Structure 1
Amino acid sequence: MYFMGNFFYHCRSLPNKSNKVSDSIWKTWEGSITYFTVLLRFGIFYCTYTLNIQLFQFVSKTK
């Protein structure tokens, strides 16, 4: 994730025609990417957490 953040920062610092509309669109897009990665991380954590609980219960039942 560090590489992606660095890449987006580099793209943002490239010289371009500065107008407010594209800047606001870019910020919205960047925010949605951040929101999506947070949701993705939470989803992965939640799935692995519940899977570990189920596996633990299954292993403890077989003993």
Structure 2
Amino acid sequence: MQVDLIFKIAAIGILVAVFNQLLIRSGREEQAMMTTLAGLIVVMMVLVQQISNLFTLMKSVFGF
């Protein structure tokens, strides 16, 4: 597993948490929720891309 992928996901999580707290403290709960959802979607897209790369690698290794 690539360490930079873990750092990238952790950095996104930290940024989303900071933005979420800032927005909640300023009374914008709806925008805080949207920020959290956007962060989750970005992380899921990164993970789906890595899973796709894994399946492509498996197909090339096993010759399917």
Normalised TM-score (structure 2): 0.63
Residue in 2 aligned with 1:13?
Answer: 18
Q: Percent identity?
A: 2
The C-alpha deviation readout for 1:13-61, integer Å capped at 9, x for no partner, is: 267342112111111111111211221111001000001112xx8xxxx
Residue in 1 aligned with 2:40?
Answer: 31
Normalised TM-score (structure 1): 0.63
Q: Distance in 1 between matches of 2:14 and 2:37?
A: 17
Q: Distance in 1 between matches of 2:44 and 2:23?
A: 27
Structure having the higher Rg: 1
Name structure 2 gaps, 5 residues minimum: none
Name structure 1 gaps, 5 residues minimum: 58-63
Aligned residues: 55
